[in-house]
Amino acid sequence: MDYVIEMLNITKEFPGVIANDDVTLQLRRGEIHALLGENGAGKSTLMSVLFGLYQQEKGIIKKDGVEVKINNPNDANDLGIGMVHQHFKLVHNFTVLQNIILGAETTKNGFLKMDEAREKVVELSNLYGLMVDPDSIIEDITVGMQQRAEILKMLYRDNEILIFDEPTAVLTPQEIEEFMKIMKDLAEEGKSIVFITHKLNEIMEAADRCTVLRKGKYVGTVEVASTTKEDLSEMMVGRKINFSVEKAETKPGEPVFEVRDLVVASSHSTKNAVNNVSFRVRKGEIVCIAGIDGNGQSELVYGLTGLSPIRGGKIFIKGKEITHMKVRERNQTGMSHIPEDRHKDGLILDYSLSENLMLKKYFTPEFQSNGFIKFDVATEYANMLIEKFDIRSGQGPRTKARSMSGGNQQKAIVAREIDFDPDILIAVQPTRGLDVGSIEYIHKQLVAQRDEGKAVLLISLELDEVMEVSDRILVIYEGELVADLVPENTTVQELGLYMAGSKRTEVAV
């Protein structure tokens, strides 16, 4: 068999963790090879070894059957290996063209020769259908465009082996579709692609073969055509995954959370991001606010939680007005908040796990006396939550949040917010960027909260999540609620119409 890259029996250790344990990956010429695994399964590490960012302790890498040593990304580049990282490596105030040639500039007597570079870039983008204006500034273009710039960067360097690290995590559904097409075109032109993901639908659609990792170990490689989503997920997680959320009939009680005529200003225009929004969440009910990203969801949440000022309206928890309360007072009154961006808002990445878990409690008598923190109590508390919520980390409570995997970071936030024993739990995109195992887990936790009689407000962009988890769906479009639906009586298509703004009904409170 003609393998362009072979990674044989790779072992890579970090202090406290074996990231890759005897992993083998063989890439055929011209194929799209998916690399599947949960968060923290070692996918990114394996690809970083191939790209020269890490060096393996054991095992060998072969290019075209010849053993090679890849000590740094330059070596990888010389071998024709290119990588698009999950977080793009672009200079934000450079143009697309400047970014593409960065590090591989054509020069004459020390002066840049941009014309030749431009010609090549234009030629490449025509060849592969990667439409992007070479002169636009990176920070002005969409994430999808930025990704194309990254792909062009690899093509410009004549890379034959392309690595994509979770390329679809940041894209909108339309962009994902386009990206799948681009990837297939590239493969057709003879490029070999490794594509890291934990989204099974994408693998079924685009990949030829799939290698599965679990907890750093090699599980197997399968032909995608002869497998099913269910088999893949079982290989990945090691048990059967239930794709549908199991939940009992709900019996909502009295309203717990009430919002009246909320108006929140937009940060980048004079228009209001949230306009006269009113709704109620009752005891024992999951209300979901669905909508396309950027229709005022973030501003709504920031207004509700007190993180940014509101222009008008009133907010109540159990009949008590919290409109003018500070963030901490709202928390104390019974509001928990799983934020949209766990790195920006949810965690202090340089703090340890235990310090993060007490983030909203450190000032209570349980955790301090006379201003001195009781670190032993904090550790005990952290151990309790770690046990209860199965948060995995290298060094237990002492682990820096930064060094934990995304799924476990999210679990830590969920643990902290749920243990707060709130009346109303506001969960904003709680499963963003997580693997199926973690998603299943977090959905279970939300439903458990509901069953305990808490009110849950879920803000989600994922239609599957909206349909599966919620008891009631409110659709937000351009800052206004345009529909109040029950998932059993609606379809994804109808939901889509409301979300796109082509249909609306009066929403009664």
Partner 1 sequence: MKRLQKFFMGHSIQRLSKMPGGSMKRLQHFFMSTGFNHASASVFSIIVGLLFGLIILFISNPSQALEGFGIILKGGFSTGAKGTGQVLYFATPLILTGLSVGFAFKTGLFNIGAAGQFIMGGTTAVYIGVLWTSIPAPFHWMVALLGATIMGGLWGLIPGLLKAYMNVHEVISTIMMNYIGMYTANFLVKSYIYDSQMALSKNVAPTAVLPKGGLDYVFYNQMGNSKDLSTVNAGIIIALVMAIIIFIIINKTTFGYELKACGFNKNASKYAGINEKRSIVLSMVIAGALAGLGGGLLYLSGGSGRRIRVVDVLAMEGFNGIPVALLGLSNPIGIVFSAIFISYITVGGNYLQTLNFVPEIIEIIIACIIYFSALSMFFRTLLPRFIKFIKHKKFPEGENIEEGQTQEEGGEL
Interface residues with partner 1 (CB under 8 A)? 13-20, 40-45, 215-216, 305, 307, 326-329, 331, 337, 339, 344-351, 355, 359-360, 362-363, 367-368, 371-373, 392-396, 399, 402-405, 408
Cα–Cα distances in angstroms (integers) from residue 282 to residues 84, 289, 291, 323, 456, in the given order: 45, 14, 21, 19, 8
| CB-CB contact of 445 with 416 (8 Å) | no
Tokens of 120: 């090549």
Indicate the residue among 44 and 125 with the shorter CB distance to partner 1.
44
What is d(CA 280, CA 122) in angstroms, rounded to the nearest whole number? 53
Least distance to partner 1 from the beta carbon of 182, Å?
27
Least distance to partner 1 from the beta carbon of 18, Å?
6
Tokens of 126: 């025509």
Indicate the residue among 265 and 497 with the shorter CB distance to partner 1.
265
What is d(CA 361, CA 261) in angstroms, rounded to the nearest whole number? 32
Indicate the residue among 111 and 372 with the shorter CB distance to partner 1.
372
Least distance to partner 1 from the beta carbon of 378, Å?
10
Strand order in the sheet with 58-63: 66-68, 58-63, 3-14, 17-28, 217-223, 209-214, 32-36, 192-197, 161-165, 81-84
Strand order in the sheet with 272-282: 272-282, 255-265, 312-317, 320-321
Indicate the residue among 12 and 443 with the shorter CB distance to partner 1.
12
Buried b (16+ CB within 10 A) or exposed e, 310-337: beebebbbbeeebbebeeeebbebbbbb
Indicate the residue among 65 and 371 with the shorter CB distance to partner 1.
371
Indicate the residue among 77 and 408 with the shorter CB distance to partner 1.
408
Indicate the residue among 45 and 470 with the shorter CB distance to partner 1.
45
Least distance to partner 1 from the beta carbon of 44, Å?
6
Least distance to partner 1 from the beta carbon of 280, Å?
25
Buried b (16+ CB within 10 A) or exposed e, 210-221: bbbbbbbebbee
Strand order in the sheet with 285-290: 335-338, 424-428, 455-460, 285-290, 472-477, 480-485
Least distance to partner 1 from the beta carbon of 420, Å?
11
Cα–Cα distances in angstroms (integers) from residue 145 to residues 120, 136, 157, 205, in the given order: 18, 10, 19, 22
Least distance to partner 1 from the beta carbon of 406, Å?
9
Least distance to partner 1 from the beta carbon of 319, Å?
22
Tokens of 338: 């799983």
Least distance to partner 1 from the beta carbon of 196, Å?
12
| CB-CB contact of 374 with 367 (8 Å) | yes
DSSP-assigned beta bridge partners for residue 95:
137
Indicate the residue among 271 and 328 with the shorter CB distance to partner 1.
328
Residue that the structure tokens 């054991």 belong to: 58
Least distance to partner 1 from the beta carbon of 421, Å?
16
Indicate the residue among 141 and 439 with the shorter CB distance to partner 1.
439
Least distance to partner 1 from the beta carbon of 373, Å?
6
Least distance to partner 1 from the beta carbon of 272, Å?
22
Cα–Cα distances in angstroms (integers) from residue 93 to residues 97, 98, 144, 242, 369, in the given order: 12, 10, 17, 45, 49
Least distance to partner 1 from the beta carbon of 85, Å?
14
Indicate the residue among 329 and 451 with the shorter CB distance to partner 1.
329
Residue 141: CA count within 13 A, CB half-sphere:
22
Residue 362 CB burial class (10 angstroms; 0-12, 13-18, ≥19) = middle
Indicate the residue among 80 and 339 with the shorter CB distance to partner 1.
339
Indicate the residue among 396 and 487 with the shorter CB distance to partner 1.
396
Buried b (16+ CB within 10 A) or exposed e, 252-269: beebbbbbbebbbbeeee
What single-letter amino acid sits at 438? S
Indicate the residue among 132 and 412 with the shorter CB distance to partner 1.
412
How far the first Cα of the chain sits from its last, in Å, is 65
Q: DSSP assignment, residue 298?
A: H
